[in-house]
Amino acid sequence: MEHLTIAILLAVLGGGAFCARRDRQGSAAVRPISAEFPLPPGLAADIVAEAALTERERTRGGPVPVTHGAGRCRVEVACRAGAMVFEVRPLPGAAGSRVVARAEQVSVIPLPDIAGAGSAAELPNRMAGLPRHPARLLRRREQAFHALSTAARAVPGRAG
């Protein structure tokens, strides 16, 4: 009997650790981060639009919408996990740009439909709000910033 108790305790602790990690990753994806690069805003937006895609998405060739307006560029990359948004703004008085990234939408893990409860089961799901694959959103953001920093090192006249 005590082995069963230990097994149940380990399952509960493991589930709690999983949920806490998912929640922490979801919070990190929603939190905006920014960095400055010595790249023109148009070039930075093009690099982000290419780098934030997975290899499979690149081979399919689906276009990534890049919205231009008021000197800013906005790139939105969507997947099943949500949508990562990159805003590229020119730096004042300098040849460069600031890139701000954050998850605008984060999908949540749907709860199973218990005995046909339907919409009644949606309330606990919205309250729990456990993100679905937030690591995918964070990986897209990392890939984009890595590609931008690699391109920034290749800018002529910049020591790096």
Q: What is the pLDDT of residue 97?
A: 92
Mean pLDDT of 24-29: 80
Q: What is the pLDDT of residue 145?
A: 94
Mean pLDDT of 34-51: 89
* Confidence at 128, pLDDT banded by 50, 70, 90: low
Q: What is the pLDDT of residue 159?
A: 46
The whole-chain average pLDDT of the chain stands at 80
Q: What is the pLDDT of residue 122?
A: 53
Whole-Å CA distances, 2 to 7, 15, 16, 114 = 9, 20, 21, 31
Q: What is the pLDDT of residue 52?
A: 84
The pTM score is 0.74
**By the 8 A CB rule, do 32 and 59 touch?**
no
Helix, strand and coil percent figures for the chain, each rounded to 5: 50, 25, 30
Tokens read off for 52: 């934030």
SS3 37: strand
